[in-house]
Amino acid sequence: MTPLSLRAEGATLGYGGRAVCTGLDLAVRPGEFLAVVGASGCGKSTLLRAFAGLLPPTAGAVMADGAPVAGPSPDRALVFQDDALLPWRSARRNVELPLAIRNVPRDRRRADADAWLARVGLADAGRRLPRQLSGGMRQRVQLARALAARPRALLMDEPFGALDAQTRAAMQRLLLDVLADAPATVVFVTHDVDEALLLGERIVVLGPAGVEQEIPNPRSATSDPARRAQVLAALGAPATGEEAA
């Protein structure tokens, strides 16, 4: 499965006549890990919904691999902040869902789901219901479910936003790790500048008028304080806070 390229061209996005974001131009290279930051309500989630095909642009175009996005597709998986697992399905049956949609035979479905759950460190939790799992475990199941669909692009909407610092750090490592052998284009929305610096190969600061700033961010073990200051300045925040939202 080759990673997908994503592109917004002069896109105006919004709900019911109210534009959240106008004239947005953004290109995501195949296999790139793009981190998107920006103030609350600047259209970060809206952008992901447009890429996912859940929200058609009111003007301009949103494209995947050069073709206009007409609707949702298993090529483009969306990972939500929380509570997107179907609560009546066990962890394993949640992960099996995209496989069932693709008509994978039942026994292979089960083996595949178990493999993905093991991959995110939840080999023993397959039979538990979402309400019997902690927030971090639920997000790992969601990640497994998204990856089981073999997406060519992963659209992640503050997936670790509700987790405590320790769990979040473990999840970030896990995500990079999983991506190493299941390559996909990633658009990762976060309000946490440090998370963007840690994960993104490029950081985009989004505002109501589109991309306000682009910052290349070659990943390294230690985060560069100058670059951190640059992102914070672009967000218009005093350079002390953890969060810019």
Partner 1 sequence: MTLALDDEKRVAVAPGPAADRGRARLRWPVRAGSVVAAVALWQVLTAANARLWVRFDRFPGPADVAREFGRQLRTGQYYLDVAQSVVRIASGFALAAVLGVAVGVAVARSRWANDLLGPLLEIVRPVPAIALVPVAILLFPRNEQGIVFITFVAAFFPVVVSTRHAVRALPPVWEDAVRTLGGGRARVLASVVLPGVLPGVFGGLSVGMGVAWICVVSAEMISGDFGVGYRTWQAYTIVDYPGVLVGMITIGVLGRVTSGVVELVGRRATRWLPGEEGRR
Residue 32 or 75: the one with the smaller Cβ distance to partner 1 is 75
DSSP string covering 64-126: ETTEE--S--TTEEEE-SS--S-TTS-HHHHHHHHHHHTT--HHHHHHHHHHHHHHTT-TT-T
d(CA 3, CA 5) in angstroms, rounded, equals 7
Q: Is 97 in the site for partner 1 (CB under 8 A)?
A: yes
Q: Cβ closer to partner 1: 139 or 217? A: 139
Is position 43 an interface residue for partner 1 (rule: CB under 8 A)?
Answer: no
Q: Which of 43, 21, 58, 34 is nearest to 202 (CA)?
A: 34
Separation CA 184–CA 243 (nearest Å):
27
The single residue among 29, 30, 31, 54 that binds partner 1, judged by CB under 8 A, is: 54
Does residue number 118 form part of the binding site for partner 1 (CB under 8 A)?
Answer: yes
The answer to whether 48 touches 78, Cβ cutoff 8 Å, is yes
Residues in region 64-93 near partner 1 by CB under 8 A = 72-74, 76-78, 80, 83-88
CB of 239 to partner 1, least distance (A): 32
Separation between Cα atoms, residue 144 and residue 114, nearest integer Å: 10
Name the minimum Å distance from CB 66 to partner 1: 20
Q: Which residues bind partner 1 (CB under 8 A)?
A: 49, 52-54, 72-74, 76-78, 80, 83-88, 97-98, 101-102, 118-121, 123, 129-137, 140, 145-146, 149, 155, 166-167, 170-171, 173-174, 177
